[in-house]
């Protein structure tokens, strides 16, 4: 196993960020990045789902291949009238049309809808990104030209909660199986805590003597794909009571590849290098 800090550059910074000191309201969000083509050039679409006492929120941003923002739309949390709608804008000579319908969506415990919805990003009458299962409704509402979007899902960041077990779902390749991921760690009050990760209830990784190995990485296989797992549980063991642990699952990661600090940098690096999909989890302990 490689030394964990060396995976994050010469300075040895960890993947933890300032979110460890933020309040729970700001943590209830999921950010997804998609890579697609625009006029023959690569661009990135960032979709952020949020949830608050006012309802669900949605933010969509489009960046070019030089990481320059082309446009951004913030759809504030809605309770009544904003469950469906559309927004149009322009950048350069291109016209962007964003249409959404979450009125019949089903949600789990998080802010991201599970089914019964669509979100469409249309650029110059072409479907650049289509999310959700109501595809026919999306094409009818947008009048976009087929074929469907060829956008590639490259990165996801989310916050998960638990006392001993932290669960989420992930799909590590296009059209691949959606897997249940469970991270189990009982670190409070134990002299020799350990960490266990299961995929579809099968244990794929175990870290013993966690107090000595609170940061590290290990390779696992999912759907025949090599997935590099990074963990940083320093805050759980030695930090403040409200601190979070951070986990990252990265597909197709070259052994010598160094990973940067921020999520946006990780996603950007993944996009440029074409190294597949990354899932970043901020795990918070419910007191």
CA 172 centroid distance within chain? 12
Give the pLDDT score at 25: 45
Residues 155/32, Cβ–Cβ less than 8 Å:
yes
Residue 287 reports pLDDT greater than 60? yes
Give the pLDDT band (50/70/90) at residue 141: very high
Residue 169 reports pLDDT greater than 50? yes
Q: pTM for this one?
A: 0.78
Residues 160/283, Cβ–Cβ less than 8 Å:
yes
Q: CA separation (Å) from 167 to 110, 153, 257?
A: 11, 20, 28
Nearest to 70 by CA among 48, 51, 95: 95
Cβ partners under 8 Å of residue 279, min gap 6: 155, 156, 157, 168, 170, 172, 248, 249, 250
- The whole-angstrom separation of Cα 273 and Cα 254 is 10
Pairing of strands 126-132, 152-162: unpaired
Least confident of 73-82, 159-168, 193-202: 73-82
Q: CA separation (Å) from 25 to 51, 75, 163?
A: 8, 17, 19
Query: Cis ω on the peptide bond leading into residue 147 (within 30° of 0)?
Result: yes
Q: What is the pLDDT of residues 174-232, one digit of tens each?
A: 777 889 999 998 766 667 889 999 999 999 999 998 889 999 999 999 888 889 999 99
Domain range annotation of the chain: 5-24+158-285, 39-150
Residue 120 reports pLDDT greater than 90? yes
Q: Phi and psi dihedrals of 85, rounded to 5?
A: 170, -170
């Amino acid at each position: 196993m490689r030394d964990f800090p060396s995976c994050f550059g010469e300075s040895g910074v960890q993947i933890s960020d300032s979110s460890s000191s933020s309040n729970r309201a700001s943590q209830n969000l999921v950010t997804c990045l998609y890579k697609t083509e625009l006029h023959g050039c690569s661009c990135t679409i960032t979709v952020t789902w949020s949830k608050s006492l006012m309802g669900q929120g949605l933010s969509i941003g489009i960046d070019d291949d030089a990481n320059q923002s082309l446009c951004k739309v913030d759809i504030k949390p809605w309770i009544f009238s904003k469950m469906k709608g559309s927004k149009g804008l322009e950048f350069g000579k291109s016209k962007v049309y964003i249409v959404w319908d979450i009125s019949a969506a089903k949600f789990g415990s998080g802010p991201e809808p599970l089914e019964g919805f669509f979100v469409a990003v249309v650029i110059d009458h072409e479907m650049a990104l289509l999310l959700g299962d109501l595809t026919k409704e999306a094409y009818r509402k947008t009048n976009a030209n087929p074929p469907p979007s060829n956008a590639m899902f490259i990165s996801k960041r989310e916050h998960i909660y638990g006392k001993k077990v932290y669960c989420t779902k992930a799909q590590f390749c296009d059209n691949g199986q959606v897997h249940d991921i469970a991270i189990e760690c009982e670190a409070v009050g134990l002299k020799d805590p350990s960490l266990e990760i299961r995929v579809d209830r099968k244990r794929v990784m175990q870290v013993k003597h966690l107090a000595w190995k609170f940061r590290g990485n290990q390779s696992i296989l999912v759907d025949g794909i090599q997935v590099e797992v990074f963990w940083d549980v320093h805050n759980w063991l030695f930090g403040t009571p409200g601190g979070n642990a951070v986990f990252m699952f990265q597909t197709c990661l070259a052994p010598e590849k160094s990973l940067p600090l921020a999520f946006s940098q990780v996603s950007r690096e993944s996009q440029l290098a074409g190294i597949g999909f990354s899932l970043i989890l901020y795990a918070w302990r419910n007191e």
